[in-house]
C-alpha cells in the first residue's frame, strides 16, 4: 500500500458537504471586514476628537445642544439629590465588602476648582476605601456594563469603548497611565 494513499472504508471519512452557493461565506467576510474597518474608524475618531485629557475631553458643556455633560455638574447634583439607583447598584458592587454607601456624593465643588479629573477623584477614593467605591472598578462598570433603557451602552456604541480614550501607554515602562485634565469652565 502506498504511504499517502487514502483508505476508503465506509464511514471512515465523512462525506464533504457540497456548497450550493457561497453567500454565507461572503456575508461573513463582509462582516469581518466591516468590524476590522470599524476598529480603524474608532481609532481615527479618538484622534480626531483629541481625547488627550481623558474624562474631561468628552464630559463637556455642549452649548450647541444646550446640555451640560461636565462631571462637576453631575457631582453637584449627586451631592444635592443623590446618586441615581442604577449607578448606586454599580457603586455597591465596586465598594469593598461591608462598606455602606449613603447614596449621595460629597460636595467637592471647591476641590474641582483647583484639581484635575480623575486624579482628584482617585486621591479621595483611594484614601477612603471605607467610605467610597473603588473608582477604577466603578468607572469600568459604568463604561462597559451599564446599559440605559432604549439606548444601550453609550460609551461602546457611540464612542467605540476604546481603552485609549481614558488610558495611554507609557512606552518606556510599558504601564498604562490614566489621562487627566482640568474640566472646561474650571
In tens, the pLDDT along 147-182 reads: 777 777 888 888 888 899 999 988 899 899 999 999
Q: What are the pLDDT digits (tens) for 109-143?
A: 889 888 899 999 999 999 999 999 999 999 999 99
pTM: 0.69
DSSP 3-state of 163: helix
Q: Distance between CA 137 and CA 125 in Å, rounded? A: 11
Grid cell listed for 96: 469593598
Q: Of 22, 65, 46, 3, which Cα lies nearest the Cα of 155?
A: 46
CB count in 10 Å sphere of residue 49: 12
Q: Using alpha carbons only, what angle is made at residue 138 by residues 132 and 144, rounded to the nearest 5 degrees?
A: 170
CB count in 10 Å sphere of residue 72: 21
Q: What are the pLDDT digits (tens) for 4-58?
A: 544 445 555 555 555 555 556 665 566 555 555 544 444 444 444 568 899 999 9
Q: What are the pLDDT digits (tens) for 76-103?
A: 999 999 999 999 999 999 999 999 999 9
Amino acid at each position: 500500500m502506498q504511504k499517502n494513499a487514502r483508505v476508503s472504508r465506509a464511514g471512515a471519512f465523512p462525506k464533504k458537504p457540497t456548497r450550493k452557493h457561497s453567500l454565507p461565506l461572503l456575508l461573513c467576510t463582509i462582516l469581518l471586514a466591516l468590524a476590522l474597518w470599524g476598529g480603524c474608524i474608532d481609532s481615527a475618531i479618538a484622534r480626531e476628537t483629541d481625547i488627550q485629557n481623558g474624562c474631561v475631553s468628552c464630559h463637556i458643556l455642549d452649548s450647541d445642544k444646550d446640555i451640560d455633560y461636565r462631571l462637576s455638574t453631575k457631582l453637584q447634583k449627586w451631592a444635592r439629590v443623590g446618586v441615581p439607583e442604577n449607578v448606586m447598584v454599580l457603586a455597591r458592587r465596586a465598594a469593598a465588602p461591608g462598606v455602606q454607601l449613603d447614596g449621595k456624593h460629597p460636595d467637592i465643588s471647591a476641590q474641582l476648582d483647583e484639581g484635575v479629573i480623575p486624579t482628584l477623584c482617585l486621591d479621595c477614593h483611594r484614601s477612603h476605601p471605607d467610605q467610597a467605591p473603588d473608582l477604577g472598578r466603578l468607572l469600568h462598570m459604568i463604561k462597559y456594563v451599564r446599559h440605559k433603557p432604549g439606548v444601550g451602552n453609550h460609551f461602546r456604541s457611540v464612542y467605540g469603548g476604546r481603552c485609549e480614550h481614558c488610558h495611554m501607554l507609557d512606552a518606556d515602562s510599558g504601564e498604562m497611565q490614566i489621562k487627566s485634565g482640568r474640566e472646561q469652565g474650571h
